[in-house]
Structure 1
Amino acid sequence: MQTVDVLVVGAGLAGLHTARLLARQRLKVMVVDRRRSLSTGIRTTGIFVRRTLDDFDLPDHLLGPGVRDVLLYPPSRRAPIRLASDRDEYRVADMAAVYEHARRAAESAGARVLLGVRYVDASMGVVRFAGAGPVTARFVVGADGARSRVARDLGLDVNRRFLVGAELVHPIASGTTTPAFHCVLDPRVAPGYLGWVIDDGRHAHVGVAGYPEAMRTGIRHLLDAFAADAPGRAAPAGQVERRGGPIPVGGVLRRLACPAGLLVGDAAGAVSPLTAGGLDPCLRMSELAAAVAAGYLRTGDRRVLSRYDGDALRRRFRGRLLLRRVFAGIRSPAAAEAAVTVLRGRAGRALAARILFGDGSFPDVGPRPADPPIDRPCR
């Protein structure tokens, strides 16, 4: 039976980034994912915010043009609030290509990435799969999504509060639109969240998300109805792609690590409970997780795992959890119209700009560690 230092379950951005960092620490790392291609089963819109673009070395050629303007619409869709930044606040990535880029980076660092291998369970250090033989792993990293099976097998916390989202993605003819991010607050379309259109001049993403129990007609029906007359939509210039899936919005989980492993990405609840953005927190928490896992495996000292403390991370975003509850309480079009009216004032616009254009990150895990030197991985 093959033995590895770290098994990473899930080849999304969080899993691949964690794997790369661990492999650079001379650990023997294996990544498995049930998908046979990283271009299938994409769940994220792929919106990277300015703070992520500033702090991480993302492949520029895989990112669309910068987006500086945000328009906030009430249910009536009349007189949107326009917020404009003097900097590029958002760029939308080609996520299939970003995942492939992350895969190559992990493999270059020494990690082994296996696709078409489905995680079954883990017990006493032995991990079983469908599609491959079992392995013995000193440590397991759960990067297997919002409804993580690894979390259950390791006895760690699991996500319990979700939005469900879906979107259409289509190319648009170059030069026919101005890049902008359109957000519609309408509980008939997206109860507890937003409908959105983000157009970077190359592709348009049209989506809705909300609490599943409030989506009486179903997410696909709501998406199709919204897409028919969504603000800022552009005529498709090619094939349309559908995406979707659950989005955890209960905040970072409290119990994230144990001597057998830890959680990253959506599995850890590393998604802003307010904006439902997950790309920035998944990268930041993955760096902390990799440092903690490497330190623990190097020393065997369980106290190292206490650095990956969900309770400490949760204390830093109480305001976002409060605003999530406020958002969830907007249940009627009249309440949504009133909320947008409040945002039209000076204080409301300042709050909206702070949320949409802010310099903060979620969660704040402290200074980013410098990349360690690349060495040949142990085999």
Structure 2
Amino acid sequence: MSHVQVLVVGLGPGGASAARKAAEAGLEVLGIERNRSIGEPVQCAEFVPTPMGAYTRADQVLYQRISGMKSILPSGEAHQSDFPGFMINRARFDQAIAEQAEQAGARLRVQTRIERLDPTARVALLRHADGTESVSYDVLIAADGPHSTVAKLLGLPALATVNTRQYTVPLLTQYADTDIWLSDEYPGGYAWLFPKGNRANLGLGADRRFEDDLKKPLESLHRQLVAAGLVGEEIYYRTGGAIPVGGLRERLVHQRCLFVGDAAGLTHPITGGGISAAVVSGERAGECAGAFVSGADDAFDDYEEDVRDQFEATIERAVARRAYLNRQWRTQAAQSDDTMRKGWIAFSEYFSSVEA
């Protein structure tokens, strides 16, 4: 049986960031990714806010800058707001962080998954192309997404999710804003157009309890935008995935296992934005592992407290807004601009008290 000081499961932005920070602290780090390639397949709208600018500087990461957001209400009224950020090549974004982790000394493996876990003995059974192997660890960092295998192996409850579907299509005009459609056609979510040069990500999310067919409304929106001359008919790429929307896990640390990013429930339950929180929590988890191995008995408590201090209030507000909207979907109230304004971050009503 081999031993590592830090085992990282999942090498998206959270896991890769954790591996980088732990390796920079001088720890022996093994990071595993179940897919064939880090960052692929891309299941993301590929937007990051301005504070993530430093992470967009690696080669081939940045597509373009974004200046604002247009929020389109059920009546058709469009609300313009400042919402600066960057459209990125998400695969290259993840890969660039992983490359930095390897440069710092982390060992990274693809097509490797965790199959069993003994949290008391701190031993994980890993499966890869050549078979299985057991690896013992001092700290485990779970960055394996909303359907976290690590969480399942620890017997933790599944996170509530919504599903998304997205097309990458030709963009026929220069565009510097993100477009958001708020409508009962996308219950539990919204539709979006995010530009990236001469292409755009056109997608939507919805709660399957209210709408199980995501293809039909997305194709309808695509046809509308083709008719308006904004995008082309061709579909370069199709993708989709699950986004956690239920808020943070009850605990972010379990038996020397730290949850980060989507696996921790850190994705914003209204916007679905999660890249920034994944990077921040991943970096903090890697630093926590370094502190713990160096003898800091309170390292895990510090991680729990720090991440909650940074994200919990915002996420709790979004969870409350989701609960409010869930009572409105498929009713007449969901056709009201006032209702949608209370459930979307671009409007002042979002930040008022929650209705019963």
The TM-score normalised by the length of structure 2 is 0.85
1:227 is the counterpart of 2:225: no
- 1:124-203 maps to which residues of 2 (within 5 A)? 124-131=121-128, 132-155=132-155, 157-172=156-171, 176-188=173-185, 190-203=186-199
Partner of 1:325: 323
Partner of 2:248: 252
Partner amino acid, structure 2, of 1:126: V
Partner Cα separation in structure 1 for residue 149 and residue 288 of structure 2 = 21
Instruction: State the SS of the aligned residue for 2:6.
Output: strand
Q: Structure 1 residues 41, 172: closer, same or farther in 2, change over 3 A?
A: same
Partner Cα separation in structure 2 for residue 118 and residue 221 of structure 1 = 34
Tell me, yes or no, if the aligned pair for 1:181 and 1:196 is still in contact at 8 Å: yes
Residue 281 of structure 1, aligned match among 277, 282, 292: 277
Partner of 2:354: none
Q: CA deviation at 1:340?
A: 5.1
1:40 is the counterpart of 2:50: no
Gaps of at least 5 residues in structure 2 are 352-356
Q: CA deviation at 1:246?
A: 0.9
Partner amino acid, structure 2, of 1:251: G
Residue 307 of structure 1, aligned match among 302, 322, 327: 302
Partner of 2:116: 121
Q: Structure 1 residues 269, 39: closer, same or farther in 2, change over 3 A?
A: closer
Which stretch of the first structure deviates more once superposed, 220-229 or 123-132? Answer: 220-229
1:70 is the counterpart of 2:69: yes
Partner Cα separation in structure 1 for residue 260 and residue 345 of structure 2 = 29
Q: Per-residue displacement from partner, 1:234-258 (whole Å, max 9, x unpaired)? A: 4349761112111111112121113
Q: CA deviation at 1:267?
A: 0.4
Q: Structure 1 residues 355, 283: closer, same or farther in 2, change over 3 A?
A: farther
Q: CA deviation at 1:177?
A: 2.8
Partner of 1:366: none
Partner Cα separation in structure 1 for residue 30 and residue 159 of structure 2 = 28
Partner Cα separation in structure 1 for residue 166 and residue 68 of structure 2 = 20
Tell me, yes or no, if the aligned pair for 2:16 and 2:282 is still in contact at 8 Å: no
Partner of 1:293: 289
Partner Cα separation in structure 2 for residue 262 and residue 23 of structure 1 = 16
Q: Per-residue displacement from partner, 1:114-133 (whole Å, max 9, x unpaired)? A: 01112212112221122152
Partner Cα separation in structure 2 for residue 198 and residue 258 of structure 1 = 37
Q: CA deviation at 1:29?
A: 0.4
Q: CA deviation at 1:351?
A: 6.4
Instruction: State the SS of the aligned residue for 2:346.
Output: helix
Tell me, yes or no, if the aligned pair for 2:4 and 2:137 is still in contact at 8 Å: yes
Partner amino acid, structure 2, of 1:261: C
Q: CA deviation at 1:96?
A: 1.3
Tell me, yes or no, if the aligned pair for 1:70 and 1:181 is still in contact at 8 Å: yes
Residue 58 of structure 1, aligned match among 37, 41, 56: 56
Q: CA deviation at 1:15?
A: 0.4
Q: Per-residue displacement from partner, 1:177-233 (whole Å, max 9, x unpaired)? A: 322211111122x111111111243320101101122113x2233322332224877
The TM-score normalised by the length of structure 1 is 0.81
Instruction: State the SS of the aligned residue for 1:191.
Output: coil
Tell me, yes or no, if the aligned pair for 1:75 and 1:186 is still in contact at 8 Å: yes
Q: CA deviation at 1:354?
A: 6.7
Tell me, yes or no, if the aligned pair for 1:179 and 1:201 is still in contact at 8 Å: no
Partner Cα separation in structure 2 for residue 308 and residue 34 of structure 1 = 26
1:96 is the counterpart of 2:94: no
Tell me, yes or no, if the aligned pair for 2:210 and 2:330 is still in contact at 8 Å: no
Instruction: State the SS of the aligned residue for 2:66.
Output: coil
Instruction: State the SS of the aligned residue for 1:227.
Output: helix
Q: Give the strand-richer structure, 1 or 2.
A: 2
Q: Structure 1 residues 238, 229: closer, same or farther in 2, change over 3 A?
A: closer
Partner of 1:377: none
Which stretch of the first structure deviates more once superposed, 292-301 or 13-22? Answer: 292-301
Instruction: State the SS of the aligned residue for 2:45.
Output: coil
Q: Alignment length, in residue pairs?
A: 341
Partner amino acid, structure 2, of 1:68: S
Instruction: State the SS of the aligned residue for 1:352.
Output: coil
